[in-house]
Structure 1
Amino acid sequence: MAPEAVLVNDPKVEHHFIDVGHGIRYHYQLAKPQEHPAVTVLLLHGWPDLAHGWRFQVPYLLTLGCQVVIPDMLGYGQTTAPDSPAQYSLKNMSNHLAQLIRAVGGSASSPLVVGAHDWGAFLAWRLVMYHPELVRAVFCFCVPFTPPQSSVLPLEDFVKENPAFAYQLQNAGSEAEALVGRSPAHLRGFLNAMFGGVTVDGMPGFDPYVGLIPERLLEVQRSPLVTPEVLEHYVSEYSRNSLHGPMNWYRTRSINGEDEIPLAKVTSRFQFQVPAMLIMAGQDPALTPDLADGQEIFFAKGLKKGVVPEASHWILIHCPEECNRYIGEFINELLKRD
């Protein structure tokens, strides 16, 4: 039986907004424990998800005495969706999150824990690099740390070296965005396909080596991982601003590369100075567990590693009990150190 999950519009969760400048406003959820929080945990979702993607983790973190903060990331849900890809650089978004952290009580004297999945994990590693004073510890699912590079590798060349990420070319272009925007039925098909739904013949609507498969999108059946209520919530939220914002994250490879050239020059032997955990999904076709091999060299305070063998990329909702167990062990070990 799956652990407790927060519901859509659950009364245990407060909804807030914060302006971070340049016309950008973030929507975030806030869940508070009954007693004074032992620690605040900031949870970052990936693509194509929402804050609700952490629905199985929030109640569990509350039982640990944690205050939980979950934003809709830039371009998603009720958060502003700028048109320009330049707004979605990891450096810009790290600065946005630094403002959110300070707004919920995080500071150099009271840093918080960051947890993340997918694109949120890629951002989390950068957040810790750009604002180390605000982060007490970090745990990520599915995405290992990639150090900044001294030169820019275009997306096309990256995909040639890593064909399991060919879907990123489709996302960075206009094809996928236009396809999903054709109708509400196409949007539902997209979401079901992304969360593991298949056609009646068992064929996927998404393949990481290809991307979305247009002729299957309207034939994809309901995802086994998402209830009808949750799916309708996602359809409603994605209908606000289309997929342009979420797809902009895939249009930033060169932007991020240019941003990080100076960072690479001063961090050639970089090591995180906070406790960290990295959990991989055994059935993720693109972000395979072997990508975590050798990660220990980047962590001065140690790296707790794990694999959930049966988990798909959607590890947080596919195997929530295992994820919560890892998170609980990590948080409890952290609190014992203090």
Structure 2
Amino acid sequence: MSVDKIALDDSRISHCEAVLNGQRYHYILGIPEHQAFSATIFLIHGWPDLSYGWRYQIPFLIQQNMRVVVPDMMGYGRTVSGPQDAPQSPPADLHLYSIKRAADDIAELAKQLGAPEIILGGHDWGGAVVYRTAQWYPKLVTHLFSICTPYTAPSRQFISLKQMVDGPLPQFGYQIQLSEPGLENDLKAYDQIRRFLQAVYGGRSERGRSCFRPDIGLDFEAMKTIGTAPSLSGQELNHYTSEYMRHGLHGPLNWYRTRLINFEDDLKLGTKMVKQPVLFITGKLDEVLKPAMSTGMENFIPQLRKEEVETGHWALTEAPAEVNKCIGSWLKEIVCKSSVKL
């Protein structure tokens, strides 16, 4: 079934900029044609995505009478306009890439847009961001949904990435490769960035070998003969590659270098609960954020609805009709009943 999606030059959206807590952000803005809207919804992407990763959800949510706000997150796409502005760390503070900083920037953008309350949606890292934003700003966030990313409650004990990989989550081994400094230096040229994106978005070698394995990360040997990425069309791959060529991989990879910072921020949070209504949509075939990881979420989220779609990690683009159906039902049955007026 064909699903409507925004084009790169779509007249239904605007490309906007805002300075949020000292950093310049780019965001997509979509407003119903009649200019009136019943709610404001922010969509937060993950790694290695862009605001355009929500291309199938933006027109759907506009049709639901929503004002849709979709930022390129810190270090991605057009959020910084040139190499001289990119927050390189060091010397820039790595806190710029923390979840708490993302929450603060979302709150500031909502303020600038005159939205005292918002709905939040996230995917991948964006899912982690929306949970914590709801906890840091409970009066701002009225409802939230997460695609693929289960809720992880704040812990009083720090667990390193290596401990996690050696223990319960061996499929997070790729994060060790991503957090190391060498990768961003090895992937700088256009063709290198293009192959990297093809690998992460499901491209295989000519012998059918996966070019990105959750347990180890990028397989550079397999990438030499990589084929098409099933989650990105040719035009979309060109767009993603061009956007990543603006600043390289330094900013996006910094999100994997903030584990201790995020832990220290969690210690200040003071709650493990998410009190807002939450929709969690899991990808049944997700090899990284496996459905079993969501076990026990209901202990921390009293108003939790769980749904699942028959797809892998890139559910937003691989199964857009199913994802939109889940979101639409939740909006109608849960969100609209609460009479959100923004």
Q: Which residue of 1 aligns with 2:289?
A: 287
What's the CA shift for 1:7?
Answer: 0.6
1:101 paired with 2:144, answer no
- Root-mean-square deviation (Å): 1.2
Alignment-derived partner of residue 332 in structure 2: 332
Does the CA-based 8 Å contact 1:186-1:217 persist in structure 2? Answer: no
How far the C-alpha of 1:218 sits from its partner, in A, is 3.0
Structure 2 gaps of 5+ residues are 81-85
**What is the SS of the residue equivalent to 2:79?**
coil
What is the distance in 2 between the residues matched to 1:296 and 1:280?
14
The Cα shift of 1:226 comes to 1.1
Q: Partners in 2 of 1:93 and 1:337 — Cα distance?
A: 27
> Aligned match of 1:175 in 159, 163, 182?
182
Q: Is the 8 A contact 1:38 1:65 kept in 2?
A: yes
The answer on whether the counterparts of 2:56 and 2:320 sit within 8 Å (CA) in structure 1 is: yes
- Structure 2 contact 21–108 (Cα < 8 Å) conserved: no
What is the rounded CA distance, in whole Å, between the counterparts of 2:268 and 2:273 in structure 1? Answer: 16
1:276: how far off? 0.6
Q: Say whether the 8 Å CA contact 1:185–1:218 is kept in structure 2.
A: no
Matched, 1:123 2:123: no
* 2:49 is equivalent to residue 43 of structure 1: no
Q: Which amino acid aligns with 2:154?
A: P
Aligned residues: 327
Tell me which of 84, 88, 103 is aligned to 1:83: 88
The whole-number CA distance in structure 1 between the counterparts of 2:239 and 2:314 is 17
**What TM-score do you get using the length of structure 2 for normalisation?**
0.93
Residue matched to 1:34: 33
- Give SS of 1:219's match: coil
The 5-angstrom pairing of residues 262-277 of structure 1 reads: 262-263=268-269, 266-267=270-271, 270-277=272-279
SS at structure 2 position matched to 1:133: coil
Which residue, 242, 254, 261 being the options, matches 1:236? 242
Q: Deviations over 1:180-225 (max 9, x none)?
A: 22x2111111111111111121111100100011112231111122
Q: Percent identity?
A: 37
Is 1:176–1:212's contact at 8 Å kept on the other side of the alignment? no
Provide runs of 4+ in structure 1 moved above 4 Å: none
Amino acid at match of 2:147: F
